[in-house]
Structure 1
Amino acid sequence: MSLFRWVIRPYLYSQYMFQKLARKGTFGGDQAIYVKTAYKNTGNGLKDGLFRHHVKQFHEASCSVASVVSVVNTLLDRQGHLNGTPLCQQDLLESVRTAHWKERMSDNGYNGRRGLPLQTLGQVVETSLKVYGISYQSLETVQASRDPIKSRKIKDRLRARLEQFETAGNCLIISHFDQGCFVRDLHIPHISPVGGFDPESGTVTLLDVDPSQECPYQVSFDLFYKGLSSNYNPIFRRFGYGEGGYVFIRV
C-alpha cells in the first residue's frame, strides 16, 4: 500500500488541483446536481427499496460492500425474506468469500489489492445473490468503452435498461465509475447503485455510498456514460482496473 500512499495518491491530488485551478472537469460546467429534497416513495418497489436501504461505505475502499448490501437488502425485502432486520456490511463480508472480498477490505488488502475491479464486482454480486437465496432472471457485467463504434450499442442498451429500471421496476444497476467525473473528488474507481432515471431529460440519479456525498446527485446521461467508460488512470491497471461499466440484475 506504500505505492498508493507515496506515488498514486500524490499524483491524483496534483491532477485534482490542476483541474481546480484550470476550471476543468467538475470545476467547470459539467458536474453533478445534488438532490436535497426528501425522497418520496414512487410505487416502484425496487427504486423505493434502494433509497430505504441505502448505506454509506465504512472506509475508503469499501464502496462495493455498501453498494451490494443495499441491493441485497432491497431484493430480500421485495421477496419478503428480510424479516425486518437488514443485513449489515460485515454480514456480507463474512458470508460471501468470492475473490477474497473480506481480505480486500482490510488495511493491507489481498496481495496488496483493495477494492473491486468491474469483473470482480460482477462475481461478488452473483455470489451474494446465491448465498442469500435471492431469485433473479439474469445478471450481466457490462464493460463500457470509449470507442465510438462499440460505445453506440453499449449506450443504447444502457439507456434502455435505465428506462426499464425507472418504469418497469424489474431490474437494478450497480455502476462502476470514475468518481472524479461526477463530483469534485479524486479520479478513482468507485461503485454505487443507480437510484433513478428521467427518460425525458436523460438525467441519472446516483445513490453514492461515499460518506462525503451526503445527498443523492444527478448527472446527464452523457456524463454518466463518460464516468462509466473512464479508462481510469494507467497506474490503476496493475491492480486490475481497466474501464468501468455496470452490473445489471433483472429480477
Structure 2
Amino acid sequence: MNPMLATLFRHVLRSLLRLRVLWLRTLKRGPHGEAPHHLSPAELATLRDKDERFKRLFATRTPQVTESSCSAAAVACVLNAMGDGKNPRIENQMDLLETIRAGRWKERLSPEGWQGRRGLPLEVLAEVVPAALAYHGIHALTEVVPFYPEESLETRMARAGTILDRFANDPGLYLIAHFDQGAFLPVLTIPHISPVGRWNPETQTVLMLDVDPDQPVPYEVSLARFADGIASHYGGLLKPYGYGHGGLVIITAD
C-alpha cells in the first residue's frame, strides 16, 4: 500500500476506534459501566507478602518501550519471573526481537509492521512464546486457548474460570492474556498483551499486570469483564489485521 494511503487509513481507523469508545461510554458498557479496581499501596504490599509468584511477576514487570511492544514486555516479565526474580534472563525486553525470529516478531513490532500489520495476533503470540522459552532453556509446556465472541458470556466465563482455578492452584503456572484493553479500561478498544497477576476465586476477580506505561498499578476486573476482553472482536474493525478474538497463553513449568 502507498505509504501516504497507509497513514491516512491508520488515522481513519483510529477515529473509528474513538467513536466506538464514545458509543460504549454512552451505553455505559465495559469499563464505562464497571470500572476496574486499581490496587492501593496497602493491598499491593499484602499481595506481595502472601503470593510469591505475584511478587516475582511484579518485580520483573517493566513497561513496554514502544507503542506496539506489549508482547515483548509481557513475555520478558513471565520468563524472568520463572527464574529466581533476582537474576533476569532478559535484561532488555527488546533483545527478544533480536534472538527470537519466530512469527516475524521484530518486523511486526516495527513502525511499519509486517506487510502493514503491527503487533501480534494470538496465533502469532503462540509461536513466539515457546520459541522464547526454548531459547532461554526453560522447560515448560505451552497451551494456547482462544476465546471467541460467538460464544455466550456464560460459556466464556466457565472456560476462563477453569483456567484461572488452575492458575490459582499451581504456582508453577503462568498466564499471558491477549485482550481488548478497552474492555478493561476506559481507553481505545485495541489489542493488548499482558501477564495475569492473580485470580481471586472468592471475589471472582482477575488481577492484571498491565505492561502499558500508563498503568503502573495493577488493577482488578471481574470474571465477566475478563471473559469479554479476551474474546473481543473489536467491532470488526481490526479483522483485516488478524484481530478477531483473543485468548490466553498458559505456560506450565516442568
Q: Deviations over 1:178-207 (max 9, x none)?
A: 111110100111111100111111100000
Within a 5 Å distance, the mapping from 1:102-251 to structure 2 comes to 102-136=106-140, 138-148=141-151, 152=155, 155-251=157-253
The alignment partner of 1:99 has SS state of helix
Name the CA distance, whole Å, in 1 between partners of 2:134 and 2:154. 31
Counterpart of 2:25 in structure 1 is 20
1:31 matched to 2:35: yes
1:9 matched to 2:14: yes
Percent same amino acid among aligned pairs?
A: 38
Name the CA distance, whole Å, in 1 between partners of 2:227 and 2:153. 13
Offset at residue 105 of structure 1 (A): 1.3
Offset at residue 43 of structure 1 (A): 5.3
Name the CA distance, whole Å, in 2 between partners of 1:97 and 1:194. 25
Aligned-pair Cα RMSD in Å: 2.1
Which residue identity does 2:32 align to in structure 1?
A: F
Counterparts in 2 of 1:237 and 1:34: CA distance versus 1, 3 Å: same
1:76 matched to 2:78: no
Offset at residue 250 of structure 1 (A): 1.1
Counterparts in 2 of 1:149 and 1:25: CA distance versus 1, 3 Å: closer
Q: How high is the TM-score relative to the length of structure 2?
A: 0.88
* 8 Å contact from structure 1 (residues 145, 151) kept in 2: no
Name the CA distance, whole Å, in 2 between partners of 1:198 and 1:67. 21
The alignment partner of 2:61 has SS state of coil
Which residue identity does 2:248 align to in structure 1?
A: Y
Counterparts in 2 of 1:16 and 1:98: CA distance versus 1, 3 Å: same
Q: Deviations over 1:153-178 (max 9, x none)?
A: x5434323312322331201100111
Name the CA distance, whole Å, in 2 between partners of 1:211 and 1:205. 17
Which residue identity does 2:196 align to in structure 1?
A: V
Residue in structure 2 matching 1:50, options 53, 57, 60: 57
Counterparts in 2 of 1:13 and 1:88: CA distance versus 1, 3 Å: same
Point out the more displaced range, 42-51 or 230-239. 42-51
Give the unaligned 5+ runs of structure 1.
none
Q: How high is the TM-score relative to the length of structure 1?
A: 0.89
Which residue identity does 1:69 align to in structure 2?
A: A
The alignment partner of 1:76 has SS state of coil
Counterparts in 2 of 1:4 and 1:180: CA distance versus 1, 3 Å: farther
1:59 matched to 2:66: yes
Point out the more displaced range, 237-246 or 15-24. 15-24
Which residue identity does 2:139 align to in structure 1?
A: S
Which residue identity does 1:18 align to in structure 2?
A: W
Offset at residue 23 of structure 1 (A): 3.9
Number of matched pairs:
245
The alignment partner of 1:60 has SS state of coil
Counterpart of 1:89 in structure 2 is 93
Which residue identity does 1:39 align to in structure 2?
A: A
Which residue identity does 1:54 align to in structure 2?
A: R
